């Protein structure tokens, strides 16, 4: 499996005009790769993840293309995408674990979902039970209502459901948020195990929590105000980031092992620009300590070292710090 996204632009229709939440985004995800997608709230992470699987009515594609295994995904064709959803590309939407229908048992939710994708539940029931046991749950969860399950149990169930047909790509949006730290770790390990067992070939794990990505991701991509700032191996992003935003984002995190109440988070002064009327040039310009005249022009998202992409003039033109 390989995902290739080229110059993708996705906007929300609004009364005051289009709000372009994903603006000229290009990247690839390789076979077997777990790519973490991080960035602060409102940077467009969910919009990007959703657009690959489930482009809602209020969203529209302004440009670009998405290819899976060299074949273009018809992302604007809601019906056409039915042939791909769940079987090829699958999504655990943000807040999914709270959206499970409370009036239906998990088993019924599963069979309804499968039927809506033209799959008979009986054919995959044994496999579902096997995977439920594999993640440490009891198969009697199938007879329970969602409100009878803990957050961690619900999250495991939604991930099992979304990967039951062994999709090439899973987009998992904030699946570890709202869980306690040890459950976060267990759900993270489950994602790695599902990839290793081939239940899903590649993954985009969306979160604003870089510490969970340090645990599970092979690569990390950082978004800022609808654009890509940086993508590299997890080790490079954590230990040798090049984009000033990534550097400041990491500097604002407590060190591993340091308790939050023992340290002060630096934070990044200022706010991201409005996506309804973004300024020209680099979108981080107002907050960047290195900004120069040059930054009034948009920096390209370029490969500056093998496998390391950055959108910053300081990096691509080699300015001294
Ligand atoms: N329904 C909508 N109508 C108009 N604009 C929207 C709508 N939903 C989102 N947006 C815009 O798209 C931007 C990106 O939203 P998105 O939900 O993709 O961000 P995110 O990075 O997933 O944030 P979070 O970390 O809070 O989940 C927002 O800043 C907002 O301006
Ligand atoms: S392009 Fe300029 S403003 Fe943008 S991050 Fe780089 S140095 Fe800062
Ligand atoms: Mg989101």
The pair of three-digit structure tokens given for residue 57, joined into one six-digit string: 């009515």
User: What pLDDT, on the 0 to 100 scale, is given for residue 255?
Assistant: 61
Q: Is the pLDDT of residue 270 over 60?
A: yes
In a domain, 118, yes or no: yes
In a domain, 321, yes or no: no
**Tens of pLDDT along 106-164?**
999 999 989 988 888 888 999 999 999 999 999 999 999 999 999 999 999 999 999 99
In a domain, 174, yes or no: yes
User: What pLDDT, on the 0 to 100 scale, is given for residue 263?
Assistant: 42
Residue 313 CB less than 6 A away from ligand 2: yes
Residue 130 CA to ligand 1 centre (angstroms): 37
pTM for the full predicted model: 0.94
CA of 223, closest atom in ligand 1: 21
CATH of the domain at 189: 3.40.50.300
CA of 319, closest atom in ligand 2: 7
Residue 45 CB less than 6 A away from ligand 1: yes
Residue 228 CB less than 6 A away from ligand 1: no
Domain count, the chain: 1
In this prediction, residues 166-183 reach a mean pLDDT of 92
Q: How far apart are CA 301 and CA 283, in angstroms?
A: 13
In a domain, 73, yes or no: yes
Parent domain of 164: 3-316
Q: Is the pLDDT of residue 262 over 50?
A: no
For residue 299, count other CB atoms closer than 10 A to its CB. 23
In terms of Cβ atoms closer than 10 Å to its own Cβ (0-12, 13-18, 19+), residue 61 is middle
- Chain centroid to Cα 147, Å, comes to 26
Which DSSP string corresponds to 210-273?
HHHHHHH-SEEEEEETTEEEEEEEHHHHHHS--SHHHHHHHHTSPPTT--GGGS-----SS-PP
Q: Is the pLDDT of residue 321 over 90?
A: no
For tokens 């047909």, the residue is 165
Mutation probe of ligand 1 site: the residue of 8, 9, 10, 12 with most atoms within 8 A of C-beta: 12
């Amino acid at each position: 499996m390989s995902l290739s996204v080229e110059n993708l632009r996705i906007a929300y229709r609004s009364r005051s005009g289009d709000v372009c939440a994903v603006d000229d985004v290009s990247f690839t995800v390789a076979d077997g790769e777990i790519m973490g997608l991080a960035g602060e709230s409102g940077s467009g992470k969910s919009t990007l993840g959703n657009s690959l699987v489930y482009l809602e009515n209020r969203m529209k594609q302004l440009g670009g293309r998405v290819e899976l295994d060299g074949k273009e995904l018809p992302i604007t064709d809601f019906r056409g995408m039915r042939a791909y959803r769940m079987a090829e590309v699958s999504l655990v939407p943000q807040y999914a674990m709270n959206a499970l229908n409370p009036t239906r048992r998990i088993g019924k939710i599963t069979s309804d979902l499968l039927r809506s994708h033209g799959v008979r539940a009986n054919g995959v029931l044994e496999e579902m039970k096997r995977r439920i046991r594999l993640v440490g749950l009891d198969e009697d969860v199938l007879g329970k209502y969602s409100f009878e399950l803990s957050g961690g149990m619900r999250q495991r169930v939604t991930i099992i459901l979304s990967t039951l047909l062994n999709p090439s790509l899973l987009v998992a949006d904030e699946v570890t948020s709202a869980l306690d730290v040890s459950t976060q770790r267990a759900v993270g390990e489950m994602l790695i195990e599902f990839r290793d067992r081939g239940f899903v070939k590649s993954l985009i794990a969306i979160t604003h929590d870089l510490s969970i990505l340090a645990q599970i991701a092979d690569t990390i991509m950082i978004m800022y105000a609808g654009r890509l700032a940086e993508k590299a191996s997890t080790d490079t992003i954590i230990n040798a980031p090049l984009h000033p935003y990534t550097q400041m984002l990491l500097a604002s995190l407590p060190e591993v092992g340091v308790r939050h109440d023992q340290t002060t988070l630096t934070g990044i002064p200022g706010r991201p620009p409005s996506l309804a009327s973004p300024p020209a040039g680099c979108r981080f310009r107002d907050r960047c300590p290195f900004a120069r005249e040059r930054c009034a022009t948009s920096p390209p998202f370029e490969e500056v070292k093998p496998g390391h992409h950055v959108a910053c003039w300081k990096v691509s033109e080699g300015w001294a710090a």
